[in-house]
Amino acid sequence: MRAEHLYIHVPFCARRCVYCDFSIAVRATIPSVEYAAALDAEWSVRHGSSNLELSTLYFGGGTPSKLAGDGVARVLDIVRRRASIQATAEVTLEANPEDVTAQNAAAWHASGINRVSLGIQSFDDAMLGWMHRTHDAAQGARAVEVLRDAGIPNVSIDLIFATPSSVTRSWTRDVDRALALDVPHISVYGLTVEPHTPLGRWVSRLDVAEAPEDRFEEEFLAAHSALAAAGFDHYEVSNYGRPGMHSRHNWAYWDRRPYVGLGPSSHEFDGSTRSWNVAPYAEWERRAGAGRSTQEGCERLSIEQESAERVYLALRTDKGLVLDDAEVEYVQAWVKSGWATLDGSKTLRLTPSGWLRLDALASSLTSLRSR
Protein backbone atom coordinates (compact mmCIF):
# COMPACT_ATOMS: atom_id res chain seq x y z
CA MET A 1 0.00 0.00 0.00
CA ARG A 2 1.17 3.53 -0.79
CA ALA A 3 1.58 5.88 2.18
CA GLU A 4 -0.62 8.97 2.13
CA HIS A 5 0.17 10.08 5.65
CA LEU A 6 3.23 11.91 6.99
CA TYR A 7 4.23 12.55 10.59
CA ILE A 8 6.97 15.10 11.34
CA HIS A 9 8.42 15.20 14.85
CA VAL A 10 9.49 18.63 16.08
CA PRO A 11 11.31 18.05 19.38
CA PHE A 12 11.74 21.59 20.72
CA CYS A 13 10.23 22.68 24.03
CA ALA A 14 10.71 25.59 26.41
CA ARG A 15 10.53 23.24 29.40
CA ARG A 16 9.87 19.57 30.13
CA CYS A 17 6.43 18.96 31.67
CA VAL A 18 6.37 16.79 34.79
CA TYR A 19 4.71 13.85 33.00
CA CYS A 20 6.55 14.04 29.66
CA ASP A 21 8.44 10.97 28.43
CA PHE A 22 8.67 12.07 24.79
CA SER A 23 11.80 12.82 22.79
CA ILE A 24 12.25 16.55 23.29
CA ALA A 25 15.05 19.12 23.14
CA VAL A 26 14.73 22.02 25.56
CA ARG A 27 16.08 25.12 23.85
CA ALA A 28 16.00 28.80 24.79
CA THR A 29 16.54 29.65 21.11
CA ILE A 30 14.91 27.39 18.53
CA PRO A 31 17.29 26.32 15.71
CA SER A 32 14.53 26.22 13.12
CA VAL A 33 16.82 26.76 10.10
CA GLU A 34 19.18 23.96 11.16
CA TYR A 35 16.26 21.68 11.96
CA ALA A 36 14.67 22.23 8.54
CA ALA A 37 17.99 21.53 6.80
CA ALA A 38 18.39 18.26 8.71
CA LEU A 39 14.83 17.28 7.87
CA ASP A 40 15.48 17.94 4.19
CA ALA A 41 18.67 15.87 4.34
CA GLU A 42 16.87 13.03 6.12
CA TRP A 43 14.22 12.98 3.40
CA SER A 44 16.93 12.61 0.74
CA VAL A 45 18.40 9.57 2.47
CA ARG A 46 15.19 7.86 3.55
CA HIS A 47 12.57 8.80 0.95
CA GLY A 48 14.37 10.61 -1.86
CA SER A 49 12.29 9.26 -4.74
CA SER A 50 9.11 8.22 -2.94
CA ASN A 51 6.93 10.93 -4.55
CA LEU A 52 4.29 10.90 -1.79
CA GLU A 53 0.79 12.23 -2.31
CA LEU A 54 -0.43 13.22 1.14
CA SER A 55 -3.97 13.21 2.45
CA THR A 56 -2.82 14.03 6.00
CA LEU A 57 0.25 15.72 7.46
CA TYR A 58 0.83 16.01 11.20
CA PHE A 59 3.41 18.10 13.06
CA GLY A 60 3.86 16.50 16.50
CA GLY A 61 6.32 16.95 19.30
CA GLY A 62 7.73 18.32 21.42
CA THR A 63 6.14 21.63 20.62
CA PRO A 64 5.93 22.25 16.84
CA SER A 65 4.53 25.74 17.42
CA LYS A 66 8.00 26.70 18.74
CA LEU A 67 9.03 26.88 15.07
CA ALA A 68 6.80 29.99 14.91
CA GLY A 69 5.32 31.14 11.61
CA ASP A 70 8.41 31.24 9.45
CA GLY A 71 9.75 27.90 10.71
CA VAL A 72 6.54 26.02 9.96
CA ALA A 73 6.38 27.65 6.51
CA ARG A 74 9.99 26.60 5.86
CA VAL A 75 9.24 22.95 6.67
CA LEU A 76 6.06 22.99 4.58
CA ASP A 77 8.08 24.35 1.64
CA ILE A 78 10.34 21.29 1.97
CA VAL A 79 7.33 18.98 2.04
CA ARG A 80 5.88 20.58 -1.09
CA ARG A 81 9.18 20.26 -2.94
CA ARG A 82 9.33 16.54 -2.21
CA ALA A 83 5.66 15.51 -2.11
CA SER A 84 2.26 16.69 -3.18
CA ILE A 85 -0.34 17.68 -0.61
CA GLN A 86 -3.89 16.98 -1.70
CA ALA A 87 -6.20 19.97 -1.87
CA THR A 88 -8.45 18.40 0.78
CA ALA A 89 -5.59 17.23 3.01
CA GLU A 90 -5.78 17.60 6.78
CA VAL A 91 -2.66 19.48 7.93
CA THR A 92 -2.34 19.54 11.72
CA LEU A 93 0.04 21.48 13.96
CA GLU A 94 0.40 20.75 17.66
CA ALA A 95 0.68 24.06 19.52
CA ASN A 96 1.06 25.45 23.00
CA PRO A 97 -1.22 28.40 23.82
CA GLU A 98 1.62 30.85 24.52
CA ASP A 99 2.88 30.41 20.93
CA VAL A 100 -0.50 31.25 19.38
CA THR A 101 -0.04 34.90 18.49
CA ALA A 102 -1.96 36.67 15.76
CA GLN A 103 1.23 36.83 13.67
CA ASN A 104 2.06 33.13 14.06
CA ALA A 105 -1.51 32.00 13.47
CA ALA A 106 -1.80 34.06 10.28
CA ALA A 107 1.50 32.63 9.02
CA TRP A 108 0.44 29.07 9.84
CA HIS A 109 -2.83 29.53 7.97
CA ALA A 110 -1.07 31.09 4.98
CA SER A 111 1.42 28.20 4.81
CA GLY A 112 -1.34 25.56 4.75
CA ILE A 113 -2.06 24.59 8.37
CA ASN A 114 -5.82 23.94 8.63
CA ARG A 115 -6.06 22.14 11.98
CA VAL A 116 -4.42 22.88 15.33
CA SER A 117 -4.15 20.53 18.30
CA LEU A 118 -3.89 22.82 21.31
CA GLY A 119 -2.17 21.54 24.46
CA ILE A 120 -4.29 23.33 27.05
CA GLN A 121 -4.35 20.39 29.55
CA SER A 122 -6.24 22.38 32.21
CA PHE A 123 -7.94 25.72 32.81
CA ASP A 124 -6.69 25.83 36.41
CA ASP A 125 -3.60 27.98 36.95
CA ALA A 126 -2.43 26.01 40.00
CA MET A 127 -2.63 22.76 38.06
CA LEU A 128 -0.82 24.25 35.06
CA GLY A 129 1.96 25.45 37.35
CA TRP A 130 2.27 22.01 38.94
CA MET A 131 2.48 20.41 35.47
CA HIS A 132 5.31 22.82 34.53
CA ARG A 133 3.23 24.16 31.67
CA THR A 134 4.38 27.51 30.29
CA HIS A 135 0.96 29.10 29.77
CA ASP A 136 -1.92 30.12 32.02
CA ALA A 137 -5.65 29.48 31.77
CA ALA A 138 -6.42 32.81 30.12
CA GLN A 139 -3.88 32.13 27.35
CA GLY A 140 -5.51 28.75 26.67
CA ALA A 141 -8.93 30.27 26.05
CA ARG A 142 -7.49 33.19 24.10
CA ALA A 143 -5.53 30.92 21.77
CA VAL A 144 -8.75 29.37 20.44
CA GLU A 145 -10.10 32.80 19.50
CA VAL A 146 -6.82 33.87 17.88
CA LEU A 147 -6.81 30.74 15.71
CA ARG A 148 -10.42 31.32 14.65
CA ASP A 149 -9.67 34.92 13.77
CA ALA A 150 -6.75 33.71 11.63
CA GLY A 151 -9.01 31.35 9.66
CA ILE A 152 -8.30 28.08 11.52
CA PRO A 153 -11.57 27.07 13.21
CA ASN A 154 -10.67 23.36 13.26
CA VAL A 155 -9.15 23.32 16.75
CA SER A 156 -8.71 20.34 19.06
CA ILE A 157 -8.15 20.80 22.79
CA ASP A 158 -6.14 18.37 24.95
CA LEU A 159 -7.13 17.92 28.60
CA ILE A 160 -5.52 15.74 31.30
CA PHE A 161 -7.57 14.04 34.02
CA ALA A 162 -6.83 11.85 37.06
CA THR A 163 -4.24 14.24 38.46
CA PRO A 164 -2.97 13.88 42.06
CA SER A 165 -5.35 14.93 44.82
CA SER A 166 -2.59 17.00 46.41
CA VAL A 167 -3.15 19.66 43.73
CA THR A 168 -6.65 21.10 43.98
CA ARG A 169 -8.48 21.10 40.67
CA SER A 170 -12.06 20.64 39.41
CA TRP A 171 -12.13 18.23 36.46
CA THR A 172 -15.80 19.01 35.82
CA ARG A 173 -15.00 22.71 35.57
CA ASP A 174 -12.23 22.02 33.06
CA VAL A 175 -14.59 20.02 30.83
CA ASP A 176 -17.22 22.76 31.08
CA ARG A 177 -14.66 25.43 30.15
CA ALA A 178 -13.60 23.39 27.12
CA LEU A 179 -17.21 22.97 25.99
CA ALA A 180 -17.84 26.70 26.39
CA LEU A 181 -15.14 27.38 23.77
CA ASP A 182 -17.26 25.47 21.21
CA VAL A 183 -14.35 23.67 19.54
CA PRO A 184 -15.04 20.72 17.20
CA HIS A 185 -12.69 18.24 18.87
CA ILE A 186 -11.58 17.44 22.44
CA SER A 187 -9.08 14.81 23.58
CA VAL A 188 -8.94 13.63 27.20
CA TYR A 189 -5.97 11.72 28.60
CA GLY A 190 -5.54 10.10 31.99
CA LEU A 191 -2.29 11.13 33.66
CA THR A 192 0.18 8.26 33.46
CA VAL A 193 3.37 7.96 35.49
CA GLU A 194 6.46 7.17 33.44
CA PRO A 195 9.55 6.23 35.45
CA HIS A 196 12.07 8.57 33.78
CA THR A 197 10.09 11.76 34.32
CA PRO A 198 9.92 14.28 37.19
CA LEU A 199 6.51 12.85 38.10
CA GLY A 200 7.92 9.32 38.09
CA ARG A 201 10.64 10.35 40.52
CA TRP A 202 8.16 12.13 42.78
CA VAL A 203 5.93 9.06 42.93
CA SER A 204 8.86 6.71 43.60
CA ARG A 205 9.93 8.94 46.52
CA LEU A 206 6.32 8.99 47.79
CA ASP A 207 6.22 12.78 47.42
CA VAL A 208 3.17 12.46 45.19
CA ALA A 209 0.44 9.83 45.10
CA GLU A 210 -1.21 8.77 41.83
CA ALA A 211 -4.96 9.23 41.50
CA PRO A 212 -6.77 6.07 42.65
CA GLU A 213 -8.37 3.84 40.01
CA ASP A 214 -11.91 4.68 41.12
CA ARG A 215 -11.30 8.40 40.53
CA PHE A 216 -9.68 7.66 37.15
CA GLU A 217 -12.87 5.83 36.15
CA GLU A 218 -15.15 8.46 37.66
CA GLU A 219 -13.51 11.35 35.80
CA PHE A 220 -13.30 9.45 32.50
CA LEU A 221 -17.00 8.60 32.63
CA ALA A 222 -17.91 12.13 33.73
CA ALA A 223 -16.13 13.55 30.68
CA HIS A 224 -17.87 11.02 28.45
CA SER A 225 -21.31 11.96 29.79
CA ALA A 226 -20.73 15.70 29.37
CA LEU A 227 -19.21 15.48 25.90
CA ALA A 228 -21.74 12.98 24.56
CA ALA A 229 -24.58 15.16 25.87
CA ALA A 230 -23.03 18.10 23.98
CA GLY A 231 -23.19 16.16 20.70
CA PHE A 232 -19.63 14.83 20.44
CA ASP A 233 -18.91 11.37 19.02
CA HIS A 234 -16.74 9.31 21.37
CA TYR A 235 -14.99 7.67 18.44
CA GLU A 236 -11.77 6.50 20.15
CA VAL A 237 -10.78 5.88 23.75
CA SER A 238 -9.40 9.39 24.31
CA ASN A 239 -10.97 11.31 21.44
CA TYR A 240 -14.25 13.14 20.98
CA GLY A 241 -15.22 14.94 17.78
CA ARG A 242 -18.23 16.63 16.29
CA PRO A 243 -19.66 14.60 13.38
CA GLY A 244 -17.31 14.96 10.42
CA MET A 245 -14.54 16.43 12.58
CA HIS A 246 -12.69 13.30 13.70
CA SER A 247 -8.88 13.29 13.35
CA ARG A 248 -8.18 11.82 9.91
CA HIS A 249 -4.46 11.46 10.58
CA ASN A 250 -4.94 9.45 13.76
CA TRP A 251 -7.41 7.19 11.98
CA ALA A 252 -4.53 6.20 9.69
CA TYR A 253 -2.76 4.72 12.72
CA TRP A 254 -5.84 2.96 14.06
CA ASP A 255 -6.69 1.54 10.61
CA ARG A 256 -3.10 0.30 10.20
CA ARG A 257 -2.56 2.32 7.04
CA PRO A 258 1.04 2.97 5.91
CA TYR A 259 2.56 6.23 7.05
CA VAL A 260 5.94 7.94 6.86
CA GLY A 261 7.74 9.42 9.88
CA LEU A 262 10.48 12.06 9.83
CA GLY A 263 12.36 13.71 12.69
CA PRO A 264 13.93 12.37 15.89
CA SER A 265 12.10 9.40 17.49
CA SER A 266 9.47 9.31 14.73
CA HIS A 267 7.98 5.97 13.68
CA GLU A 268 6.72 4.73 10.32
CA PHE A 269 4.85 1.74 8.99
CA ASP A 270 4.73 0.24 5.48
CA GLY A 271 1.92 -2.24 6.10
CA SER A 272 4.05 -5.05 7.52
CA THR A 273 7.19 -3.50 9.06
CA ARG A 274 7.48 -0.81 11.71
CA SER A 275 10.63 1.29 12.00
CA TRP A 276 11.76 4.08 14.27
CA ASN A 277 14.35 6.84 14.30
CA VAL A 278 17.05 7.64 16.85
CA ALA A 279 15.50 9.71 19.63
CA PRO A 280 18.10 12.31 20.74
CA TYR A 281 17.86 15.45 18.63
CA ALA A 282 21.64 16.01 18.42
CA GLU A 283 22.28 12.47 17.17
CA TRP A 284 19.43 12.66 14.66
CA GLU A 285 20.71 15.99 13.31
CA ARG A 286 24.29 14.66 13.13
CA ARG A 287 23.27 11.58 11.15
CA ALA A 288 20.99 13.51 8.80
CA GLY A 289 23.61 16.17 8.14
CA ALA A 290 26.19 13.50 7.34
CA GLY A 291 23.87 11.82 4.86
CA ARG A 292 23.51 8.74 7.07
CA SER A 293 20.34 6.85 7.92
CA THR A 294 18.50 8.24 10.93
CA GLN A 295 16.75 4.94 11.53
CA GLU A 296 17.53 3.19 14.81
CA GLY A 297 15.61 -0.05 14.34
CA CYS A 298 12.84 -1.91 12.57
CA GLU A 299 10.60 -4.90 13.17
CA ARG A 300 8.67 -7.00 10.70
CA LEU A 301 5.46 -8.03 12.41
CA SER A 302 4.74 -11.72 12.82
CA ILE A 303 1.31 -13.16 12.06
CA GLU A 304 0.65 -13.29 15.81
CA GLN A 305 1.71 -9.67 16.30
CA GLU A 306 -0.46 -8.52 13.41
CA SER A 307 -3.46 -10.35 14.86
CA ALA A 308 -2.94 -8.84 18.31
CA GLU A 309 -2.52 -5.37 16.83
CA ARG A 310 -5.69 -5.65 14.73
CA VAL A 311 -7.71 -6.69 17.80
CA TYR A 312 -6.35 -3.94 20.00
CA LEU A 313 -6.66 -1.12 17.44
CA ALA A 314 -10.17 -2.12 16.39
CA LEU A 315 -11.41 -2.29 19.97
CA ARG A 316 -10.02 1.14 20.86
CA THR A 317 -12.31 2.81 18.30
CA ASP A 318 -16.04 2.87 17.68
CA LYS A 319 -15.42 0.97 14.43
CA GLY A 320 -15.25 -2.21 16.48
CA LEU A 321 -14.20 -5.73 15.57
CA VAL A 322 -16.11 -8.35 13.57
CA LEU A 323 -16.23 -11.69 15.42
CA ASP A 324 -16.83 -15.29 14.44
CA ASP A 325 -19.48 -17.46 16.12
CA ALA A 326 -17.18 -18.85 18.82
CA GLU A 327 -15.99 -15.33 19.70
CA VAL A 328 -19.58 -14.08 19.87
CA GLU A 329 -20.30 -16.66 22.52
CA TYR A 330 -17.08 -15.82 24.35
CA VAL A 331 -17.87 -12.09 24.74
CA GLN A 332 -21.43 -12.50 26.01
CA ALA A 333 -20.18 -11.96 29.55
CA TRP A 334 -18.68 -8.62 28.48
CA VAL A 335 -22.01 -7.53 27.02
CA LYS A 336 -23.86 -8.52 30.22
CA SER A 337 -21.32 -6.57 32.29
CA GLY A 338 -21.93 -3.43 30.23
CA TRP A 339 -18.42 -3.42 28.79
CA ALA A 340 -19.41 -4.00 25.16
CA THR A 341 -22.21 -4.08 22.63
CA LEU A 342 -22.71 -6.60 19.84
CA ASP A 343 -24.82 -5.88 16.78
CA GLY A 344 -26.44 -8.15 14.19
CA SER A 345 -23.35 -8.15 11.99
CA LYS A 346 -21.34 -9.61 14.91
CA THR A 347 -19.40 -6.39 15.39
CA LEU A 348 -18.11 -5.95 18.92
CA ARG A 349 -17.76 -2.39 20.21
CA LEU A 350 -16.53 -1.51 23.67
CA THR A 351 -18.52 0.93 25.80
CA PRO A 352 -16.75 3.66 27.80
CA SER A 353 -16.70 1.26 30.76
CA GLY A 354 -15.17 -1.35 28.47
CA TRP A 355 -12.53 1.07 27.20
CA LEU A 356 -11.38 1.44 30.80
CA ARG A 357 -10.55 -2.28 30.56
CA LEU A 358 -9.23 -2.17 26.99
CA ASP A 359 -5.84 -3.79 27.60
CA ALA A 360 -7.29 -6.77 29.48
CA LEU A 361 -10.19 -7.32 27.06
CA ALA A 362 -8.01 -7.05 23.94
CA SER A 363 -5.48 -9.45 25.46
CA SER A 364 -8.22 -11.92 26.34
CA LEU A 365 -9.67 -11.92 22.83
CA THR A 366 -6.21 -12.16 21.26
CA SER A 367 -5.50 -15.24 23.38
CA LEU A 368 -8.74 -16.83 22.19
CA ARG A 369 -7.81 -16.20 18.54
CA SER A 370 -4.39 -17.77 19.01
CA ARG A 371 -5.75 -21.12 20.24
62 cis-preceded (ω within 30 degrees of 0): yes
Which of 304, 277, 97, 68 minimizes the C-alpha distance to 181? 97
Strand ranges for 99-153 from DSSP E: 115-121
> How confident is the model over 234-240, as a mean pLDDT?
98
Using the predicted structure, report yes or no on whether residue 50 has a pLDDT greater than 90. no
Look at 192 and 186; give whichever has higher pLDDT.
186
Residues 6 or more apart in contact with residue 332 via CB below 8 angstroms: none
Taking a C-beta distance cutoff of 8 angstroms, is the pair 315, 348 a contact? Answer: yes
Task: State the angle between helix axes of 102-111 and 137-149 in degrees (0 to 180), rounded to the nearest 10.
Answer: 40
Using the predicted structure, report yes or no on whether residue 71 has a pLDDT greater than 80. yes
**Dihedral sign, CA of 37, 42, 45, 47?**
negative
- 10-21 pLDDT, tens per residue? 999 999 999 998
Using the predicted structure, report yes or no on whether residue 49 has a pLDDT greater than 80. no
Which pLDDT does position 243 carry in this prediction? 97
Distance CA 208, CA 201 (A): 9
Cβ atoms within 10 Å of 272's Cβ, excluding its own: 12
- 134-174 pLDDT, tens per residue? 999 999 999 999 999 999 999 999 999 999 988 889 999 99
Q: What is the pTM of this model?
A: 0.95
Percent of the chain with pLDDT over 70: 99
Query: Domains in the chain, please, with CATH?
Result: 5-254 (3.20.20.70), 303-369 (no CATH)
Distance CA 356, CA 362 (A): 11
Residues 6 or more apart in contact with residue 23 via CB below 8 angstroms: 9, 11, 62, 264, 265, 279, 280, 281
> How confident is the model over 263-281, as a mean pLDDT?
96
* pLDDT band at residue 325 under the 50/70/90 scheme: very high
Distance CA 241, CA 258 (A): 23
Taking a C-beta distance cutoff of 8 angstroms, is the pair 241, 185 a contact? Answer: yes
Distance CA 147, CA 125 (A): 22
Reduced to 3 states, what is the DSSP secondary structure of residue 45?
Answer: helix
Which pLDDT does position 47 carry in this prediction? 86
Query: How buried is 300 (Cβ within 10 angstroms: 0-12 exposed, 13-18 middle, 19+ buried)?
Result: exposed
